[in-house]
Structures are given as structure tokens and as C-alpha cells.
Amino acid sequence: DAGITQSPRYKITETGRQVTLMCHQTWSHSYMFWYRQDLGHGLRLIYYSAAADITDKGEVPDGYVVSRSKTENFPLTLESATRSQTSVYFCASSGQANTEAFFGQGTRLTVV
Amino acid sequence: GEDVEQSLFLSVREGDSSVINCTYTDSSSTYLYWYKQEPGAGLQLLTYIFSNMDMKQDQRLTVLLNKKDKHLSLRIADTQTGDSAIYFCAESRPGSGNTGKLIFGQGTTLQVKP
């Protein structure tokens, strides 16, 4: 199916564990983004990527790692999960000339 | 503090108009957006306005931009229960390279009563 998909949709993990959230898009969009959504903060940019092998920090990158070995995938890894990383994570993508960013359905992550 | 500010909650009756307001701080923003988020779903782009425009109308939606006051509003005419959702205002900064790198407001929850 065309579009942008995130997996898993829901995840519960323990403090200190490594967890990876997956994002896959089928449009060959150059740009991909990871946001987290928290009450009272809206969405905040964690990391973004302008193309394969090019990534850059957003507003709240600490505690996260990303990679972009293929254009269509942009995984987000929490190296050692903390409770403050409990959030809903959204992946998005957009093309070079697009005025619209397309969002995935989100991953609800709970760190206990 | 937040760069983009929105009121958190708005309640209207079905059939009334809804006006959701947003203020932003960077006068050099290039695009300003309104996204809609339904429960358990991702964000859906409703409309956007380029910074050199004052108004944009798209069916039931009207966006007004006051650059002097750095104020953006979204008017939904004839509000329906299906319009109940969270509405996010967002801005795209110049030099960000792409319009997906956005600064979001906190979101306004719109409740439509039948």
C-alpha cells in the first residue's frame, strides 16, 4: 500500500532498554522527520533527514539516534529508554517541492 | 516559551462557525499551516497559507493571516460533529530547507455539540 507507515503502533518497554521505532514511506520522498507529541507541547521535532545518509538534529534530539541507509526507511532508536520518553511518536515525509508533510499514524510508546 | 501559541479548547454548537486562533513569533515564516488530528490518528493537512497572502478560502475553511500582529486564524463555517478534533497551527521557518520541518502550536481541541 502506498503511503507512510509506522510500526509498532503501540509499545511498552522498560527503563534502560533499547527500542527502535520504524517508519517506511513509498513515495520516495527526500525528506523524513520524527516528531514527538506530548500534552501541552504539541509536536516537537526530534530528528530529520534530507536524503539517504543525511540526518540532522531537531529541537529535542537527546536520547535518540536515527539512521537513513535507504530513502524509504527512517528508524528512530531510543538507546536507553527513560520514562520522560513516554510519548506518541510521529514520522512524516515530504518531497522537495511539496508544501505538505505527510504523517504516519503514530506510535504510542510507554516506558515503565 | 512556545514559539507558536494556541488556545487549548473551543466548544461550539453544530451549524455554528468555529474560529481557532494562533499566534507566532517569527515574522519571517514562509508557510503557515493548519493540521487536523482525529482521535488515535496522525495529522492531516487541512490548509496552508503562504506568508505573502492575507486570506485563503477553501470550501468551509477560511484562513486569515495578520502579519503585523503575527496572528493566524482558521474559520470553519457550518461546523459539523465530524469536525471535532485537535487542530494544530504550524509554521515553516525560512532556511529550513523544506516545509516538513515545522514548529507546532500546542493544539486546540474543538468540541462540536449536536
Nearest partner of B44 among A18, A104, A75, judged by Cα? A104
Write out residues 23-42 of B within 8 Å (CB-CB) of A.
31, 35, 40-42
B106 to A41: CB separation less than 8 angstroms, yes or no:
yes
* pLDDT given at position B66: 93
Q: Best of A6, A43, A94 to disrupt the B interface by mutation (most B CBs within 10 Å)?
A: A43
Q: Taking CB atoms and an 8 Å cutoff, what residues of chain A touch B90?
A: 43
Residue A19 has pLDDT above 70, yes or no: yes
Radius of gyration of chain A (CA): 13
Contact (Cβ atoms closer than 8 angstroms) between residue B25 and residue B3: yes
Cell reading at B100? 516538513
Residue A98 has pLDDT above 80, yes or no: no
* pLDDT given at position B94: 63
Paired sense of beta strands B4-6 and B18-24, if any: antiparallel
Paired sense of beta strands B61-66 and A54-57, if any: unpaired
A92 to B98: CB separation less than 8 angstroms, yes or no:
no
CA–CA dist B10, A61 (Å, integer):
32
Contact (Cβ atoms closer than 8 angstroms) between residue A48 and residue A101: no
B104 to A94: CB separation less than 8 angstroms, yes or no:
no
* pLDDT given at position B1: 41
Q: Each residue of B35-94: pLDDT tens digit?
A: 999 988 889 999 989 888 899 999 999 999 999 999 999 999 999 999 999 999 998 876
Residue A39 has pLDDT above 60, yes or no: yes
Give the least confident one: A29-38, A69-78, A96-105, B6-15: A96-105
Q: At A2, is the pLDDT very low, low, confident or very high (cuts 50, 70, 90)?
A: low
Mean residue pLDDT of chain A comes to 93
CA–CA dist A33, A51 (Å, integer):
11
B44 to A42: CB separation less than 8 angstroms, yes or no:
no
Residue A109 has pLDDT above 90, yes or no: yes
Q: Each residue of A61-97: pLDDT tens digit?
A: 999 999 999 999 999 999 999 999 999 999 999 886 5
